[in-house]
Structure 1
Amino acid sequence: MLLEEIPLKVQEDELPDEVHDLLDESEKRADAFYEAGLGPRFYRYVPSDPVVVYRSMVFLIESKQLRGKKFCELGCGFGIASGLACLLGMDATGIEWEEELANRATQLMHDLGLDVEILNDSYLPEGFESCEGMGGKDLVVPGTGRGQGAMAPMYDGLDPAEVDLFFVYPWPDEEEFMRSLFREIGSEGSVLLMYQGEGEISAYLWDEED
């Protein structure tokens, strides 16, 4: 399958009050998280720029790039992108491996009255693995891979083939790894939104034709 990059045209419009509320509260909790000395324990947790992420999602929705409203954040941390997706009317799920972060995300969503499901799980479905390759991680796919009789990848209570928009903020050496994962778990017409640091963000459309 082919991943087709979607040109993003992000407008710098004023943010709605409910978005400000989410960002302000999440910033307070992130500050408390680091003040509690938890940063070194979860050193791989680095938040994306939520304003850039929000405006990119707005563009994808308003330009009708999305086939539906099911959203999944891979490695959600505090679940901020999932909360933003919920505010935009999407059926949002965040997946976070670290129990401490998953609990904090669940509490944040509950306290703000946002209907977001947080799964304390790996974003690698059962049977999928990662290994160190040249220049970064490589994805190890179970069985013979997609389209060859292998079982469809699944999360606990979530079928990734039904997800319309995935979001991820990978480490720089894991960007191709996440694109490879999207090729395996995505489906025709689904979109991957990938934050790449320092305000850079990209979107990819999953296309069956290669």
Structure 2
Amino acid sequence: MLQPISLPRNLDARPIPTTIHAMVHDLRCRIEAFQDRWDVPQIEQFVAADYELVYQTLDWLRESQMMIGNRFLEWGCGFAAVTLIADSLGWDCIGIESESTLLTHGHQTVADWCQTLRSNDDVTSNHTATLSAVPELVRGNFLPTGSESLADDPTLPSLGHDTENAYRKLGLELDDFAVVYSYPWPGEDEFHELVFDRHAARGAILVQFCGPNDVRAWRAVSNP
């Protein structure tokens, strides 16, 4: 079962390093330019999150919650903003994305911003973890094998991605990760929770951005 983690009311008052602000501003410009193009097919399921609030949430969780490990996974990483935010906080990060066009932009984000974030004291001084390898971005389906059966609606956007299971490529399973982040489409947040509850390790944390001023966190615990 999943146990909700009560987030502080003043979460949005937590300080954000200037370098994170700069990266977020740059990515918003890139995303707007990408979405304004008329000469390429639009990816309707790709919507940018409130990356500042996501940073504040992950920063607070890193500081206040017990972690079962150091691996962080982003379901549907897009431009890899959250993957890089988590990397700046000291996690070993992997992003999974099914759309090859978005994955190309994600790799560019990592190339442009990873070392900049890591080399700034205003970012790295906020945590004590040792930064390891550059975040890994993988094309594939973020749903563990068989988890589609947990959905009560076959039209959910997370279903039907005709790509290889990403966990096979990684040589990992969902229960190898301490923290998972998702931005569920309206109406599929419960499905993401069911998948996480079924496949995540006990003690792992699910973070969901569900819309403006709506971020949630859950911990997987043993059934009573």
Normalised by the size of structure 1, how large is the TM-score? 0.84
Deviation of 1:76 (Å)? 1.1
Trace 1:50-199 onto structure 2 (pairs within 5 A): 50-114=51-115, 115-129=134-148, 133=152, 137=156, 154-157=167-170, 158-199=172-213
The root-mean-square deviation of aligned C-alpha atoms, in Å, is 2.6
| Alignment coverage as a number of residue pairs | 197
Q: Secondary structure at the match of 1:188?
A: coil
Q: Which has the higher strand share?
A: 1
Percent identity over the alignment is 27
Trace 1:194-209 onto structure 2 (pairs within 5 A): 194-209=208-223
Code of the aligned partner of 2:219 = L
Deviation of 1:130 (Å)? 5.6
Code of the aligned partner of 1:170 = P
Q: Which runs of 4+ in 1 moved over 6 A?
A: none
In 2, the alpha carbon distance for the partners of 1:101 and 1:125 equals 21
Contact 2:84 2:114 in 1 (8 A): no
Q: Does 1:44 align with 2:45?
A: yes
Assess, with a 3 A threshold, how the Cα gap between structure 1 residues 207 and 44 changes in structure 2: closer, same or farther.
same
Code of the aligned partner of 1:68 = G
Aligned twin of 1:7: 6
Q: Which has the higher helix share?
A: 2
Contact 1:22 1:83 in 2 (8 A): no
Contact 1:136 1:174 in 2 (8 A): no
Code of the aligned partner of 1:5 = P
Q: Secondary structure at the match of 2:169?
A: coil
Structure 1: which 5+ residue stretches go unaligned? Answer: 141-152
Moved more, 100-109 or 57-66: 57-66
Assess, with a 3 A threshold, how the Cα gap between structure 1 residues 38 and 159 changes in structure 2: closer, same or farther.
farther
In 1, the alpha carbon distance for the partners of 2:110 and 2:91 equals 14
Deviation of 1:207 (Å)? 0.6
Normalised by the size of structure 2, how large is the TM-score? 0.79
Q: Secondary structure at the match of 2:187?
A: helix
Structure 2: which 5+ residue stretches go unaligned? Answer: 116-133, 160-165
Q: Secondary structure at the match of 2:219?
A: strand
In 2, the alpha carbon distance for the partners of 1:207 and 1:160 equals 15
